[in-house]
Structures are given as structure tokens and as C-alpha cells.
Structure 1
């Protein structure tokens, strides 16, 4: 079955977050908690990509959180207020799942995916090539963060395989 996020794979520029979106969607029915946390991770990757691709957005120096990026005045000027408010649902639900261990329903997963879809669709419509090339993975994250992210993605894939498989 074709993913709702398949259109992202058609543009190499979106490779940083395309697979994360598709992976979150693939486990929505079988593992809603993984899907919700995967949607949060995909959103974070998409937002970091947007910062790298949009000349008006500047990544803060030093350590920063997803909330720092979402509340940056330049980001608030660039992204529609309704889309931003919906993104908070993904962040809250993803954080609760990671830190508190909430149980989620398929409905929670579908809502998170729907919000994620609307955001990445909005990005893909507004930021059509040609545009400045996004920063590669190595420039977005420190070496320690890269290892941590890769480990998290591998853990999600391993857990999803165990649940589905």
C-alpha cells in the first residue's frame, strides 16, 4: 500500500525526514505509541530541514530544543499560526509517550500523522525547488547527537519489527 508520505520520496531534498514520516505511518495500526513518537521525531527532522533550507530561519547556536525552534520569532513569522498550534499536539503527545509512557490509541496516531502530513505538504508546496540546499545531516547535529539519533531510529525499527512481526 502506498504511503500518504510517498510524495516526499520523489524529491531527494526531503530524504532527511521522508523515511521517518513513512515509518511513523507504517506502524500506526500495529503500534500507535511508536507511531506517535515517530511522528514527533519526523516533525523535528522536518523542522530542522526547514531551518536549513529557508534563508530566513537560523538555527540557534549551542544546544536547543524542538520547542526553541517552534517558538523562534522568525519561525513564527514563516509558519501559519494554525499549523504551529497543531504541531504542539504532536510534540506534547510524543513527549508524553517518551517521558511518561502514555498508552495511545490508533486515533492518537492518526491525528499525529494527519498534522504531520499537513505540515510537510505545506512545506513542499511553499518550498519547491530550486531553493538553497539543506544542510547535510552532519552539519545539523553534533557527532554525539548523530549517534544518539541513529540509535533511537534503530531502536524504533527493531521495536516495530518485533511488534509487527
Structure 2
């Protein structure tokens, strides 16, 4: 069995994934990190040099590879992973429990504004209001996919440990 964390960038997938893996003695894998190793370049450079379509095709290919190769793992997806190709269908396998880390628009804006330079999709946004509009549009487009997760956990006003404990209680 694998547990897959999905949600918008900044929802805490990586932090919560690492903590959850420690608590249940699973391996931890970040899909974006896996892609960077395989492609031998950063996600930002893949976007810059080859474009989003190339990235999304590779992302789907590597998602399949990870799910076929790893077992008893916590896998943090990229924010857009469930929304492209046939990725959502792949995530509906019996051997996978998908968890949507739901985070409000205001909380995402607050979290992402300071770290936007590290995120290729939002690095060009200089004003908080522009970032908020960008996130709002994406959440509208992506919520259909995210809401198909097997479980949903809100991350607002909670620390990593609180979210992890809530996930553990839902899984048991």
C-alpha cells in the first residue's frame, strides 16, 4: 500500500509526508524530487527549458514508475499532478490511499508569498493580490481533482504534528 498526498503548492505535502512516513515507518518520496533526479535538472529549469507540456508528460511517466516500484511509501505529489493526463485514474488504484491536504486561499497566499521565488509557476508574481488571484483561479480549476481524494484533511491553523495525527486517526 502507498499513501499519496495531494493538494495545492504550499499545502504542506512535503513536510507532512516526511513526518507521516516517520510515524508509520514507511519510505518517503517527493515526486518533484524524483523528477529532478531523473531529469538531472530542477523543476524550474525543466519548465524554463522544455515547457509545462513536456514536464506534465514526464511527471505522469514518473508517477507510474514510482507507484510500480515503491511499496509502503508516502508519496508527495506536485500540486498539479492529479489534474493532468490520466494521473487521477492511476491514483484510484486499490493499493493507494490518496489524501487531499486542503488549505484555504488566504492561508496559501500567506505561505506562498515569501517563497514564490522558489516556485516556477508563481515566481513572476510580485503583488500579494496578484498571487491570491492566481491561486484562486488554480484552486477553482483543480478542486474537482483534489476533492476526489480518498480522504480530506484541512491544514489551516494546524501545525505539522496536528495534521499528521489527524491523518493517522483517519487511516486507523
Output the TM-score relative to the length of structure 2.
0.33
RCO higher in structure (CA 8 A, sep ≥6): 2
